Each structure stands twice: as C-alpha cells, then as structure tokens.
Structure 1
Amino acid sequence: MTIALHVQRENATARRGRSIVLARCLRFLPIVPTLLFLLVFFIVPVGEILQGGLVGADGQIGFAQFERIARTPVYAKVLWITFAISFLTAALSILLGYPVAYMLSRLPERVRERWLLWVMLPFWTSYLVKTYAWMLLLSKTGVLSIIALSLGLVHETSGTIPSLTGVLIGMVHSMLPLAVMTMLPVMRGIDERLAQAAETLGAQRSMSFFTVFLPLSSPGVAAAGLLVFISSLGFFIVPALLGSPKETMIAQLVISSVLELFDMRFAGALSTVLLICSIVIFFVYDRMVGLTSLTGEVTERSRGSRAQGVRLALLITAGRVFAPFVMRRKAHADTTARAASPLGLYTCIIMIVLVAPVLSVIPYAFTTSDYIAFPPKLFSTRWFGTFMDSPVWRSAIIRSFEVGLGTALLSLLLGFGATLAMTRMPRRASKPVFALLVAPLIVPRIVVAVGLLYLFGRLGLTGTNLGLVIGHTVLAIPYVVVTLAAGFQRFDWRLDDAARVMGASPLRRITSIVLPLLTASVSAAFLFAFLVSFDDLTIAIFVSGGINSTLPKQMWDDIQLAITPTLAAVSTTLVILIALVVAVSSWLKRRAR
C-alpha cells in the first residue's frame, strides 16, 4: 500500500512537472512564427548578400570585389562622404533635438501631447514630400532665393542646392523628429526628485542638470545617435535630389549597380560594407548602453558604466563653465517648459522649421499655372483632378493602400505575438530575441532591399503585392515591437494572473484583458506599420517591378524628370493623409486613457 501511494505521488509530481514545462513552452509559442519569418525573409537574404559580395566576376570565391572598392579612389571617397554626412546628420539632430525633447519631457502629459502632434506630422511625412518641399525652397528660383532678392539681402543667388549644405538641411530635417521621439521616453523616465535633491543640497540649476539629468538621459541620446546614423547610411533620396555628384552616397552606388550596371555582385559587396559597419556600431552601442534603451528603459549598466566617472567629471566641468549662462529659477516647481521661456521659444522655432517646409507645398497644389513659380497664382483644383484621373497615379495609390493595409495586419500579428512572448521571457533570453526583432531597424534599408531582390528573384515574388507586403513587414516589425514593448512595460500583469487563476484560457485573457488595455499601443503600432509601408521607396525600387508601381515609386520616377504642380497635389494629399493618421492615433490614445 505504501509503495503504491509513493508511486502515485511520483506520477502526480511528474505530471505536474510536465504540465509546467508544457505551459512555459506554450507561453513562448507566439514568437515562433515571427522568428521563422525573419529567418526566411531577413537573415537568409542578408546572408546571401555576404555570400554574393565574396563572389568575383570570374565566379570564384574571394575578396576581389572588396579589393576593387579599396583600389578605386572614387569608392573610397563615396564611403568617406557617406560616413561624414551620416555623422554630421546624427550630431546636428541630437544637438538641435535635445532641448526640444527636454522641454517636452518637463511638460504635463496633455500639453506634451499637443506639442507631439507637430513633431509627428513631419516625422511620418514621406521623405519624398519633405525633399520635394526643400527643392521648392532652396533652388535658384525657390522661395528663399526670391525672398532674399526681394529684400535686397543679396544681389544674385544660385540657390542652396545642389550642395552639401542642401543635403544636410534635408537630412537633418528628416531625422530631427526621429531623434526627439527617441530621446523623449528616456527623459520622461527620469525622476525629477533627483534634480530637486541636488538643488536642495546647494547645487546650481546648471550643475544639477549636467550632473544628474544629462547623465541619466545619455542612453536616449545614444539611442537617437544610433538610429539616426544607421538610417542616414542608407539615404539616397535626399543626396540624389538636393546634392551634387560630390555628395553621392553609397546607397546611390548600390542602386546604380543593380538598376543600371546590373552588377549584383558588386552591389552585394557595397551592401556588405554597409552591413559590417552597422553591425560594429550596433555592437558598440549594445556594450555601452544596452538595447533596451530603444524602448525608453534605462538599464543599470547605463547608470553605472565604467566610463561614468570620466563622463561625470566632464559634465561637472561643463556645468561650472556654463553656469553663468544658464537662467536660474527660484523653485523647481516653476517649470521652464513654457512658451514664454527661452527654451519654449527655441522649441517653437524648431517646430516651425519642422512643419513649415511640409506645409509649404500645399499652395502650389492649387496654382493655376502650368509650372511651379513663387508666389503661386491661386486658385485651381485641376492638379488634383489630373492626379486622380491619371490611371498611373490612381493605380499607384490603390496599390500603396493595399500593400500598406496588408503590411499593417501581418506585422501587427507577428509583432504582437513576439512581444507578448518576449515580455514573459527571462531577461537573459529576452535580450538576444529583442536584438533580432529590432535588427531590421538597425540594418540599412538598402541592404535589406538588395537581399530581398536576391531571394524574390528565385521565388518569383518580384513585382507582386505579396513580395511588397513581405518586404515592408520586415521593415515594420521593429516599429511594432518597440511600440508594443513600451505599452507592455506599463501593463499590470497581475490582472492577467488573476484571470488565469479563475480559469480563463490564454486566448480569452488576450482578447478580454490584454488587448482592451493596450488599445492605444496596438492602434499606434498598426498605424506606424501602415505608414512605414506607405512611405517606403527603397524596397519598392527593387521589388515593385513593372509599370504598376507604388505611390512613392511613382513620385520618385516623376520628380527626377520635372518639378510639376501635379507632384504638389500628390504631396498635399499625402500630408493630409498623415495628418489624419496622427490625429486618429492621438484620439485613440486619449480615448484609451
């Protein structure tokens, strides 16, 4: 009898152990489709780029393509220009965006949301629209040149473009919102009581900022620098339209190698160089700051790194140097984040600079002239009619909507399951998983596009909507994961545990508890994924194929031929669409709260 009871207890214990193991495995099951998707459509294509770059013109494995890059001065110069422009763009974006992010982080939440609307509008506006706007502003016959001549500031002008200055203006304008949006979550997570304590102990306001706030916000600064630099490495729209041949960047060479020279192996070698540089930067960033700062989380490593002592000494010195120039306040509660303060005035100026170029294209859409001229002769809507009546433009916008919605649904499905499983993983396991999920955000888009061209050529997906949806989903998954991860960080998992104890199934808990409480994050992730697809040009250039292209691809083809009022009508339509998306996202967030 005793032996039988002992055997029953052992069997029951074994069953409970198997149930626990099974339950833990089921918790990680939602991430499996996402990992398989990225394996097939991201890791494999990137691996093929590495392999293709090692194949010479004679078909032999070697470093002939890389030797060609190293031996040819033109390619070395283009690489240097690419890194120099990317570094300048990152530095200027951080320097200009840090005060804006700082002010927004000090504002009450409702006021901050109103300001963020003006950051989100240029943030999600198409790169083509923003570049088109700067072409209208900076050209020889552009708005700024005509105004300068009219005011007698100059006697003659050749315009600001094409030039390095024009490229930097266009790229910083495109990347500045990204820098602000990346730094803001980290700044919001800094406890204001730390600065209060420093000031209570006698520290000047400038000293408390340089020794408390700035070190704690450094992970956000590093994350912004990383994302802006990596994104800038793959830029080709701005340098192609606002720059001269002297400002040619490596992505332009990749596109030329594929579409004009049909040299896929050399394009693979150029893409490999970009990829290796991105991986090195990515690794250094992870070692210094940690990947979790991309979601706004400040790690213990970033709070107390080995370099913290040296950095703190430099910041204390800077605080002493700049103390006389920093306005002091009587009380910490008397916030500096006001429009009447110097910081508020600076933020207003930056907002105007961000939004005004985007809105400046709108009057040209209603011109009665057959060409672009300043000031535009108003008022006519015929260019909207030309846009909507054209079979080419109509087909492009319909295809963009179809691909965008398909991308949003697929990326949200994959990203939600992956983020849900990742939040339940041990920290040691979640870190490499998160690194893989955001890797498409780190790797330049041009590298992903060339890799997908290799793969889709064999699978017969080139020129299909499915191929575009897959390619855009690869790009959108990081945005979905980062957006949902920030929402899951604030989610109270005790509610889910209570439902589980009461017998609710996993699916029932997700549909009745998790999704309703994360409506704002899920909606924002869906909209972001849609905009990533709708705005993409890089994947479309390589994958769309045929006459029926997407809207950004059609704009790219037309804008290289001539700057017409039809393009202004298309740009205005896109600006209105982005404004509606941003407004809906903000409304859903307020409603969820």
Structure 2
Amino acid sequence: MSAATLNHDGAFAAARRRLRFGPLWLAAPGLAFLAIFFLFPVLRLLGLSVQDLETSAWTGDHYARIVATDVYFRVLMSTFRIAGLTALLSLLFGYPLAYWLAQLPERQRGLAILAVMVPFWTSYLVKTFAWMVILGRTGVINQILSGTGMSPLPLLHNEFGVMAGMVHAMLPLAVLTMLPVMTTLDRRLVQAAETLGAPPANAFWLVYFQLSLPGVAAAGLLTFISSLGFFIVPALLGGPQQTMLAQLIISQIQEMLNWAFAGALATFMLVAALVTCWVYDRLFGLSSLSGETSGRTGGGQGRLRGAGMSILSGLAKASTALGGPVGRLLGPTVMDRLLPLYSAAVIVFLVAPALVVVPIAFTTSPFLDFPPPGYGLEWFRVYFNSDLWVSATIRSFAVAFATAVLATLVAGLAALALARSSSRWRGAIFAFFLAPMIVPRIVIAVGLFYLFAQIGLVATDLGLIIGHTVLALPFAFVAISAVVKGHDWRLDQAAATLGANRFRTLMLVTVPLIRGGLVAAFLFAFITSFDELTVAIFVSGGVKTTLPKQMWDDMILQLNPTLAAVSVVVFAIVMALLLMAEWLRRPAR
C-alpha cells in the first residue's frame, strides 16, 4: 500500500472523527424540527422586513417609518417600559415570597408551592377575564367601594389595569424561577457571617442575596421576554395608551396584510429579547436556566461584580439603619410575622382572581354581577350544548395531547444526548433548544403563519400541533434536562454489562429513573398547548378554533357568564392535571 493511500485514509479517518457527534445524534430530530419550523420562519420574517414586496428590492423604509412615525415609536417605547416595569415589580414582589418558601420544611413548602403553581398554570385568558370582573366599573372592588359610600374608581382600561394583570401573570414565573436557586443555598453561610460579627442585614445582602442573584437574573430575563410579546392583557385591560408591539403586529397581519412592516416591528421585539439574553449569557450563562453552573469569568465581570458589591453594601447599610428603629417600634413578635403575613397576602393576590370567577359561573343573571343574585347551572348548559364550544374544547385536548407526546419525545432524546455528550457543540445545541422560549411568541407565530400559508397548513390540526410543539419544546427540554443531569449512568452501564441492549436499557432502566422529569415535561407541554392563543389566532384560520381562540373571540365581542363557566372548566382541568402530577410523582420518591 502506497504512502499516498495511507495518508488519504488517515485524513479520511481524521475527518470522520471530527464529524462524529456521538450521542448528539439523538438530538438530530429536535434540531431538524426546530430548523424547519422555528429558525427558517423567523429568519424569513426578518428578511421580509428589509424587502419591498412589490419590487423585491432591499429597503430600510419600514424601519425608518417606525422611527419617524410618532405613534409607532411611542408604542415601541411603551412596550419596553411596560415589560421592564412588569419584570421589576415581579422580582420585587416575588423575591420575599420565594425567600419564605425556601425556608419552609419540605412538606409545607410543597403545599405552598401548589398555591403558586395553580395561577401559574391557569390560562392567561381566565386570569385576564377574572381581572375584568374584579376591576370593572361594576366589578368586585367598585361594588365594595359603592357599599361603603365611595365613588367608583377607574381601574380598567388604563395602565393600572395592565400592570395588575401582567404582574399577576408573571409573578408565579418569577417565584418558581428563583426558588430552585434559593433551596440549594447553604444557610449556614449566613449564620457563619453573623457569627463573625456581620449584622443580619449585611449577612443577608452580601451573602444570601448575592448567592441567589443567578435565580433573580433568570427570573428577570424570563419575565421581561415573556412580557415583550404580551397582547392579551393590554388588549383587554388597557386602553389606547397601553397598546403594545404585539397588538400592532397582529393588526398589520390580520387587517392590512402588511408582512414587511410586521416583520420590521417583530425585529425590534426580537432584538430587545436577544440583547437581554446576551447580557444574561455573558453574566451567568444560558445553561444556568436549567440549574447548571456556567463558570464564566473575566475582567468585565470583575468590574460588574465590584459595582454590584458596592450597591449591595449600600443596601446593607440602609437596611441596618432603617431596621433598628422599625424593629423597636413594631417589636420582635410583629417583625417575625411580617414575612409570613406578606407571603400569605401575595398568595391570596395570586389565587383570589380565579376564585372570584367561580360564583359568577353559577349565576342566574345574564350579567356579570357580583355577588350573583342567584345560583344555577344555566351557563354550563349553554356551554355543553354549544357545538362551537364543545368542538373547540375537544380540539384543544387532542392538539395538546399530541403536542405533549411529540415535545416530550423530542426533548427527551435531546436531553439524553446532551447529558451523555462532551462535544464542543453541546453548548450551542443547548442554546438552540432554549431559543423558542427566548424569542417572543408573536414573532414565531407570524413566521409560522407565513410558512404554513405557503405549504397549506393553515386551518389544520397538524399546523396547530407543529406550532404548539415549537413553543412547548424548550419547557419540556429544561424539565427533562434538570432530572437527567442527576442520573447515575453507572446503572445503565451495569445493565449493558448484564447483556441488555441499548433499547432495553433505555426503557427498563433510564426511563423509570427519570420518570419525574418526563411527567413534568409532558404536563408542561400539555398546558402550554392547551393555553396557547398566539399561534391559534393565526394558524387556526378561524376554522380550526381552539378553546383559547374561542374564548378570545367572545371576550373581544362581549363579556357574558358563559365565559365564566368556560373559565371554571379550564381551571378544573388545570387542578386535575396538578393533582395527577403529584400522584405520579410520589412513587418515585
């Protein structure tokens, strides 16, 4: 054999080694799915924003129009301001609750977390409808004020209504994001700081709070990005001054069919989300969203760390100066009860709106009177006797089940691939699977609508399943990754040593041990699909109506007690799923 042949074979073998992905091939189905139904539609939409659809020439006129037109620029700034305020208030109100939950014994913490999970998984439409009942001119709050002789307050169709609804929607997400970080912190570090002479305020701000910052930053990232794409709350609880970017995008597509201008609006939203994500990644690393450590270091971080420590030192000094007089004024007993009382008040704030809807669903009045003048089942009969409502409910269940199965399967394979791989591509693939959670939903929905209109998937169940799976995949992926990360792979090796092939090892060893993550992923995906409205508005085509889409149409036209009955049905479904998840989780302990 010649030297040239040997060199050629050696080069070919080296090339094969470089291309060998090993376990990462398990992620190939998910990568292909996201490339076709996420990356391509989003990039195509962004391409439309710099294109003249009549001449196909490149142009920046759409962006110039946004900046030059006062109304569009004002909506752009209003969107960023409302999203920023929502994230800030969610962190401020949510941190003490997460701190209190982290201190509870495990059993009590589980019950308290359930009270946070219920509003977290309850449909945005149900929660928004509840706030319309509470804040309306004849709503619960104004009825109470009228009963005391006070004049009604304008609580709806203004910024107060929008902020109340959005903070209520985002607060559970902030708490549930911060809590896992807090529960892993060693509280003996705080005790050690106090033993060495640090005042309690210094020990909290400079030790505990500093260690919990990755969770705080992750909560801020997720709440800000989620708020950017909101349109349900501002459309139903706000007024013209609270119009947000997503509402403009919807009107440009549905009313004017102006794809290019909608793409330019979507680009502004996407850039804001990506910049926020980039800042978080530079500071903490995207992998920390699933509980992994990023290990990031650098001079820039050192300067930021120094500035942050100065701020925390100032907060510690202010807390010490203020805490002494307040503690003496209130006394130790009251001070010890402040945090539990505050946490109970926040939980009531989270749970009460959904509970207010329940009695209205059983009213005998055709109006949303509270308290109801009488009770009956009339509006449930209207719901169950309506072919439109029943077909929408059945379709939502079918689409959600198919979405949950597909998302869990694809995400499970990807999570196993990344857990077993040490490839340099691992970080990029992880970020790609998280991308649909980072890109605002309205951008994904419009991109999919443009793609599906070309391939005939608009107004089809398959189109809904694909769109919902794109949105559900990151949540399922994170849920499974968090469990797989702690899996003992030596058990799989032992099964292989005893003669089990890879499939039997997967089904009889790996899957039973990570069942908790699979159940959580399935439920996350199911609820994401069952509650999803953004994709349904575009892809359903007004024909394949889902339950959220039907609720949205009715809420836009006229509020009626039938919506309360539907809300109770949705709320009952969420509760049943939560109880089922708890029941399935117990044997795995």
Letter in 2 for 1:287: R
| 1:376-391 correspondence to structure 2 within 5 Å | 376-391=372-387
2:573 corresponds to: 577
| 1:218-257 correspondence to structure 2 within 5 Å | 218-257=213-252
Secondary structure of the residue aligned to 1:301 is coil
Instruction: Select the residue among 289, 313, 327 that pairs with 1:294.
Output: 289
Query: Higher mean Cα deviation, 302-311 or 530-539?
Result: 302-311
2:232 and 2:425 map into 1 onto residues whose CA distance is: 38
| 1:22-421 correspondence to structure 2 within 5 Å | 25-56=21-52, 58-59=54-55, 60-152=57-149, 154=150, 156-301=151-296, 305-306=301-302, 307-326=304-323, 341-421=337-417
Shift in alpha-carbon separation, 1:24–1:265, aligned structure 2, 3 A: closer
Post-superposition offset of 1:499: 2.2
2:339 and 2:324 map into 1 onto residues whose CA distance is: 10
Letter in 1 for 2:239: S
Post-superposition offset of 1:578: 0.7
Shift in alpha-carbon separation, 1:240–1:339, aligned structure 2, 3 A: farther
Secondary structure of the residue aligned to 1:577 is helix
Cα RMSD (Å): 2.3
Shift in alpha-carbon separation, 1:292–1:134, aligned structure 2, 3 A: same
Post-superposition offset of 1:196: 2.4
Letter in 2 for 1:512: L
| 1:561-572 correspondence to structure 2 within 5 Å | 561-572=557-568
Secondary structure of the residue aligned to 2:391 is helix
1:444 corresponds to: 440
Post-superposition offset of 1:23: 13
Shift in alpha-carbon separation, 1:344–1:24, aligned structure 2, 3 A: farther
1:333 corresponds to: none
Letter in 2 for 1:202: G
1:299 and 1:190 map into 2 onto residues whose CA distance is: 17
2:533 corresponds to: 537
Instruction: Select the residue among 479, 492, 495 that pairs with 1:496.
Output: 492
1:5 corresponds to: none
Q: In the alignment, is the contact (CA less than 8 A) between 2:229 and 2:441 conserved in 1? A: yes
Query: Higher mean Cα deviation, 285-294 or 116-125?
Result: 285-294
Instruction: Select the residue among 517, 535, 552 that pairs with 1:521.
Output: 517
Shift in alpha-carbon separation, 1:339–1:515, aligned structure 2, 3 A: farther
Runs of 4 or more, structure 1, over 4 Å off, are 20-26, 324-328
Shift in alpha-carbon separation, 1:582–1:339, aligned structure 2, 3 A: farther
1:107 and 1:170 map into 2 onto residues whose CA distance is: 28
Q: In the alignment, is the contact (CA less than 8 A) between 1:186 and 1:298 conserved in 2? A: no
Aligned residues: 568
1:339 and 1:399 map into 2 onto residues whose CA distance is: 52
Post-superposition offset of 1:299: 3.3
Q: Deviations over 1:514-549 (max 9, x none)?
A: 111111111111011000000000000000113330
Q: In the alignment, is the contact (CA less than 8 A) between 1:53 and 1:269 conserved in 2? A: yes
Query: Higher mean Cα deviation, 297-306 or 545-554?
Result: 297-306
Post-superposition offset of 1:427: 7.1
Q: Deviations over 1:305-347 (max 9, x none)?
A: 422222123212311220255599xxxxxxx9x9973211111
Shift in alpha-carbon separation, 1:501–1:483, aligned structure 2, 3 A: same
Letter in 2 for 1:497: Q
2:466 corresponds to: 470
Secondary structure of the residue aligned to 1:341 is helix
Q: In the alignment, is the contact (CA less than 8 A) between 2:459 and 2:543 conserved in 1? A: no
Post-superposition offset of 1:501: 3.3
2:17 and 2:102 map into 1 onto residues whose CA distance is: 43
Letter in 2 for 1:395: S
2:569 and 2:44 map into 1 onto residues whose CA distance is: 39
Post-superposition offset of 1:378: 2.8
Q: In the alignment, is the contact (CA less than 8 A) between 1:219 and 1:298 conserved in 2? A: no
Q: Deviations over 1:205-261 (max 9, x none)?
A: 221111111111111111111111111110000000000001000100000011111
Shift in alpha-carbon separation, 1:500–1:323, aligned structure 2, 3 A: farther
Q: In the alignment, is the contact (CA less than 8 A) between 1:423 and 1:430 conserved in 2? A: no
Q: In the alignment, is the contact (CA less than 8 A) between 2:21 and 2:423 conserved in 1? A: no
Q: Which runs of 5+ in 2 are unaligned?
A: 1-5, 326-331
- Structure 1 length normalisation: TM-score? 0.92
Secondary structure of the residue aligned to 2:524 is helix
Secondary structure of the residue aligned to 1:378 is coil
1:396 and 1:240 map into 2 onto residues whose CA distance is: 22
Letter in 1 for 2:139: G
Q: In the alignment, is the contact (CA less than 8 A) between 1:119 and 1:354 conserved in 2? A: yes
Shift in alpha-carbon separation, 1:339–1:555, aligned structure 2, 3 A: farther
Query: Higher mean Cα deviation, 458-467 or 106-115?
Result: 106-115
1:378 and 1:497 map into 2 onto residues whose CA distance is: 65
1:7 corresponds to: none
1:32 and 1:298 map into 2 onto residues whose CA distance is: 25
Letter in 2 for 1:95: L
Secondary structure of the residue aligned to 1:362 is helix
Letter in 2 for 1:321: A
Q: In the alignment, is the contact (CA less than 8 A) between 1:220 and 1:296 conserved in 2? A: no
